[in-house]
Amino acid sequence: MIAVIVQARSGSTRLPGKILKKIMGKTLLVLFLERIKKMKKIDKIIVATTTLTEDDKIVSIVKEFDSTIGVFRGDSEDVLDRYYKCAKKFGVDTIVRITSDCPLTDPNISDEVVEKFIETKTDYCCNNMPKTYPHGLDTEVFSFRALEIAWKEANEKREREHVTPYIREHPNIFRTTCIKCNRNLSHMRWTVDYKEDFEFVKKIFSKLYKENSSSSFSMVDVLSLLEKEPEIFDINRKYGEYHNLIIYSPAYNVEKSLPELLERLLKIQKKLLETNTVISRYIIVEDGSSDKTSKILRSYGAKIPFLKVIYKQKNEGVVSALLGGMAAALECAEEKNLSGENTIMIRMDTDLEHQPEDLPKLLAPLLSKESNLSVGYIRFDYRHGIFVKLFNDFIGPSESRRFLGLEIPQFCPGFNAIRLDLFKRLLPQLLDLTDDFRKVSGKQMVSLDFGILFLVRRLGENIYPFRLRSIEDKWVKHSNFSKIGKYLDYHSITSKFLSHYDQP
């Protein structure tokens, strides 16, 4: 007989009575049992609880929910003993171990583990060795023979408390196998240990649960929900292993590129989740556009929950928009109490010169901790006009060598990622820099992005530059000679200012 033996108790030091807590009038235990009843590869379900008086409630709930579910009561501390005696009493040949504090357990995935166990004829099969599924979808399957050997031989406290360590750690005795998810989701936390975990699960059920449905919502359904509403991650984020992204962008008369940018950003969210990364907030500073930019942003408000728009009544220029976006990004990080180490601030344009598909490459040096700042540069070609190409090919490397000790073939690359800890140190200095520049030159520091790199170098930080993919033809902008003249003028003023600014 193949049976799920459910480990269940009401006592918990971190969240007492957690499986008795209710969502939509049903305890977590009942919601969990509803889900595993949908498994097709098992013959029976047994709830193995303790002999403690406080767990009488569990017995009553199970019997009231479904009288065909078996109940066994055993030692409260020696859970291995509880499992062994339960399996022996009910004559279980193959044990499926799932814990009751995992109410999002996917019956289809659990069935896959059972199938793998049967096909391979091993002693033990699981889906968390190595971990690739979200924490909270764990399923283990093992033979009664393996359980009996562990029961006789295991002596350490953790081996008795967690049932299977002895089996997992003795490959010389037991044949083991594992199923893996098609992408690594092990950073996700779907189990219930803390109050915030319960609120997370409660939110998932409120969105996806359907009474008396013939099937349970799946892992894929939960992932789709989280991709659409990533703010749900915020609920129990502090116990997970996520990297948080806060993106900020200026937007002025970008009605043509903006819809495509937002749609592509939604698609890349799924890719980012594979790197343990989630977009917590996308802040767009709408800088008093005269086209339909504002209208488009309002239409996307409900579609992109992580989108926040700051609307300006009149155009104040890119410098004001960028500084306002940076201040709003920092305020958002503080409101959410995000970790300085695991939060990354991203500056991106809305005209699709910066493409969302480059985000994973932009993030890679920070996720690997090679650098606290990465910057993507554009290699301009003749499509942009001969003057743009020559300006960036010659001025970019020259100035980056002079002020940054690097060769970046773009004078003012604006697609950057900065770790929050560095961002907090940088922003006050950047405000001082731009204020001093305005006082000295009487102009706004339009080369603000170069100023950021300049200050980061002064702070003793490493800069990780990389080349962005080529701009798609339809988003290429052409600049005439008069515009290049303005660039040269701004460059000359900025270069002179930074030369003096860098002196003690």
pLDDT digits (tens, 9 = 90+) for 451-490: 999 999 999 999 999 989 888 888 877 666 556 566 677 7
For the chain, what is the mean pLDDT? 90
How far apart CA 22 and CA 471 sit, in angstroms, is 52
Asked, for residue 353, whether it belongs to a domain, the answer is yes
Mean pLDDT within 33-37: 96
CATH number at 200 reads: 3.90.550.10
Shared domain for 367 and 252, answered yes or no, is yes
Residues 163 and 246 in one domain: no
The pTM is what? 0.70
Give tens-digit pLDDT for 169-204. 999 999 999 999 998 888 889 999 999 999 999 999
Residues 355/358/359/364 CA torsion (nearest 10 deg):
-160
Q: What is the pLDDT of residue 13?
A: 78
Asked if residue 230 belongs to a domain, the reply is no
* One domain, residues 448 and 333: yes
Asked if 24 and 129 sit in the same domain, the reply is: yes
Q: Report if residue 450 sits inside a domain.
A: yes
What digits encode the pLDDT tens for the residues 363-401?
999 988 889 999 998 877 767 666 666 666 766 677 788
**446 vs 103, which has greater pLDDT?**
103
Distance CA 283, CA 249 (A): 6
3-state secondary structure of 171: coil
Residues 198, 321 share a domain: no
Same domain, 416 and 448: yes
Residue 311 lies inside a defined structural domain of this protein: yes
| Cα–Cα dist 241/134, whole Å | 11
Query: Could you tell me the two tokens for 70?
Result: 């078996």
Residues 360 and 434 in one domain: yes
Domain assignment of residue 236, yes or no: no
| 277-286 vs 70-74, strand pairing mode | unpaired
Structural domain includes residue 226:
no
Domain end position, chosen among 203, 218, 233: 218
The reply to whether 171 and 282 lie within a common domain is: no
Rounded-to-integer distance, Cα 83 and Cα 105, Å? 20
What is the count of structural domains for the chain? 2
What residues pair up with 47 in beta bridges, in sequence order?
Answer: 6, 71
**Residue 444 is assigned to a structural domain of this protein:** yes
Q: 227 in a domain, yes or no? A: no
Domain boundary among 218, 250, 284: 218
Q: How far apart are CA 282 and CA 320, in angstroms?
A: 18
266 shares a domain with 193: no
Picking from 185, 218, 251, the residue at the C-terminal end of a domain is 218
296 and 377 together in one domain: yes
Coil/strand/helix, residue 444: coil
For residue 386, what is the enclosing H or E element?
helix 386-404
339 and 196, same structural domain?
Answer: no
Long-range contacts of 26-29 (CB under 8 A, 24+ apart): 27/61, 28/100, 28/101, 28/103, 28/192, 28/198, 28/201, 29/58, 29/61, 29/62, 29/100
Close Cβ partners of 401 (under 8 Å, ≥ 6 residues apart):
407
| Domain that includes residue 14, residue range | 2-218
Rg of the chain in Å (alpha carbons): 29
Distances (CA, A) of 198 to 47, 68, 141, 207: 21, 28, 26, 14
151 and 259: one domain?
no
How far CA 356 is from CA of 187, 258, 307, 325, 487, in Å, comes to: 22, 12, 15, 18, 27
